[in-house]
Amino acid sequence: MYGDDAAVKIGVLLSGGVDSSTALVSLKEKHPEAEITAYYLKIWLEDELASLGSCPWEEDLEYARGACDMTGVPLKVISLQREYWDQVVSYTVSELKNGRTPSPDIFCNRRIKFGAFLDRVGETLDKVASGHYAVISEEENGLFRIHRSPDPVKDQTYFLSHLTQEQAAIAMFPIGGMMKEEVRKLAEKWDLPAKSRKDSQGICFLGKIKYTDFVRHYMGEKEGDILEADTGRKLGTHRGTWFYTIGQRSGLGLSGGPWYVVDRNKDENIVTVAASLEASAVARSRFTVVDPNWISGPPELPSRISLKLRHGPKLIEASISSLPGSEDGKERLEIEMDESDRGVAPGQFAVLYDGDVCLGGAMVEC
């Protein structure tokens, strides 16, 4: 990969989990002469969220130190708490207040892991490695592309879809071409401290805090009606429309279901639900996205693509086309999927693919 490993300076983002720990050791084995430094990014918002519960960042840091001790790689702790609040948490709260569904982990990668971190130390590094499940390639024309991981369940290109070309060029994903079971086997083989650690779940800055508690902390509660879509009859009450998203099934507390959220009216504080068949009937196959991010440049439009509406293995075939310009100057695209989905919600992201190449992503507008 490099003509002279000894001249290459690589920063490894180390969280203390099995994926980033295995990525560190794998990188060390492949590039023994490179100058490798591990970085633990401290983003836990102690002042804002301490009253809600604990974050295992100190435990994470100990696991990170253990991996570094094994490999002889120095570890530095970088505090990005204020940057995280300004660029990720404030966005999340703003989206909730505006009745949209936020995707904070997408912005965490662009704005923090490959953003604020690089602003802080990037000039000293040639590459930045992480434990993401994705594959980077460099084309003959010098463009870098991000490909889906061969592990469809663990693939994290959904969360990497807003990286810029410059960020893709500096990124390395040492375990990105592996299956999860391969990573676990390597961790066992190398006897890594994190070999038996469970994968983290949920949004990275919340630690062990429940997302609903985070939402309540910033948005409060406001009782409103839950109405049936077909009849308009009241089925129950809710604690605030911001606790729900389109397509949601769990957490409604209604009998006689299953029920699915099909609409939220923030101004009137009403959540509308439908039973399974009715929810399928109002599912959408066409929607508009705004401000697309193209990792390696835009495709020719109109075009056939595949897309993900959420992190996970499911891909949906679709057509994409440009929409006429508007007064606000924003680029908008129309997407028509080959199948309907009952979870298309304003604020979430549609991530677009050409084969296994992640083209980028755009926010669902309507």
Report the CATH number that the domain containing residue 101 is assigned in CATH: 3.40.50.620
Asked if the structure places residue 212 within a domain, the reply is: no
Which residues 6+ apart lie within 8 Å of 357 measured at CB? 145, 146, 147, 148, 296
Would residue 366 show up in a list of annotated catalytic residues for this protein?
Answer: no
Q: Identify the burial level of 178 via C-beta atoms within 10 angstroms of its C-beta, where 0-12 means exposed, 13-18 middle and 19 or more buried.
A: buried
pLDDT recorded at residue 215: 87
Tell me the C-alpha distance between 318 and 278, whole Å.
23
Q: Which residues of the chain have pLDDT under 70?
A: 1-6, 44-56, 201-209
Range of the structural domain that residue 347 is part of: 284-364
CA distance to 97, 173, 178, 354, per residue, from 350 (Å): 21, 23, 25, 13
Catalytic one of 55, 108, 358, 366: 108
CA Rg value for the chain: 22
pLDDT recorded at residue 40: 94
Catalytic one of 68, 204, 358, 366: 204
Asked if the structure places residue 165 within a domain, the reply is: no
**Domain boundary, last residue among 280, 297, 316:** 280
Nearest to 136 by CA among 176, 99, 84: 176
User: What is the DSSP code (8-state) at residue 162?
Assistant: T
pLDDT recorded at residue 25: 96
Would residue 204 show up in a list of annotated catalytic residues for this protein?
Answer: yes
How is 94-114 classified by DSSP, letter by letter? HHHHTT----HHHHIIIIIII
Q: Are residues 310 and 179 part of one domain?
A: no
Asked if the structure places residue 216 within a domain, the reply is: no
Task: Judge whether 41 and 80 are in contact, CB under 8 Å.
Answer: yes
Question: Mutual orientation of helices 180-189 and 18-30 as an angle, nearest 10°?
Answer: 70
pLDDT recorded at residue 276: 80
pLDDT recorded at residue 58: 78
Q: Are residues 35 and 119 part of one domain?
A: yes
Tokens 């492949």 label which residue? 30
* pTM value surpassing 0.85: yes
Q: Are residues 301 and 276 part of one domain?
A: no
Tell me the C-alpha distance between 176 and 199, whole Å.
16
Tell me the C-alpha distance between 293 and 229, whole Å.
35
Q: Are residues 267 and 226 part of one domain?
A: yes
**Domain boundary, last residue among 234, 262, 280:** 280
Asked if the structure places residue 200 within a domain, the reply is: yes
Q: Are residues 323 and 227 part of one domain?
A: no
Question: Mutual orientation of helices 18-30 and 57-71 as an angle, nearest 10°?
Answer: 20
What 3-state class would DSSP assign to 363?
Answer: strand
When divided into structural domains, the chain yields a total of 3
Asked if the structure places residue 161 within a domain, the reply is: no
pLDDT recorded at residue 242: 92
How is 308-320 classified by DSSP, letter by letter? ESSSSS--EEEEE
Which residues 6+ apart lie within 8 Å of 133 measured at CB? 19, 149, 151, 154, 155, 156, 173, 175, 176, 178, 180
Q: Are residues 266 and 319 part of one domain?
A: no
What 3-state class would DSSP assign to 205?
Answer: helix
Q: Locate 180 and state its tokens.
A: 């999860």
Tell me the C-alpha distance between 297 and 359, whole Å.
8
Which residues 6+ apart lie within 8 Å of 94 measured at CB? none
CA distance to 37, 102, 127, 186, per residue, from 25 (Å): 12, 34, 16, 9
Q: Are residues 193 and 46 part of one domain?
A: yes
Tell me the C-alpha distance between 225 and 51, whole Å.
29
Q: Are residues 120 and 15 part of one domain?
A: yes
- Which CATH number goes with the domain that contains 307? 2.40.30.10
Which residues 6+ apart lie within 8 Å of 256 measured at CB? none
pLDDT recorded at residue 55: 57
The β-bridge partners of 117 are none
pLDDT recorded at residue 50: 54
Q: Are residues 265 and 127 part of one domain?
A: no
pLDDT recorded at residue 212: 84
Q: Locate 47 and state its tokens.
A: 């002042």
Asked if the structure places residue 180 within a domain, the reply is: yes
Asked if the structure places residue 169 within a domain, the reply is: no
Q: Are residues 181 and 43 part of one domain?
A: yes
Q: Locate 276 and state its tokens.
A: 């399974």
Asked if the structure places residue 150 within a domain, the reply is: no
pLDDT recorded at residue 6: 61
Tell me the C-alpha distance between 228 and 118, whole Å.
49
Q: Are residues 182 and 270 part of one domain?
A: no
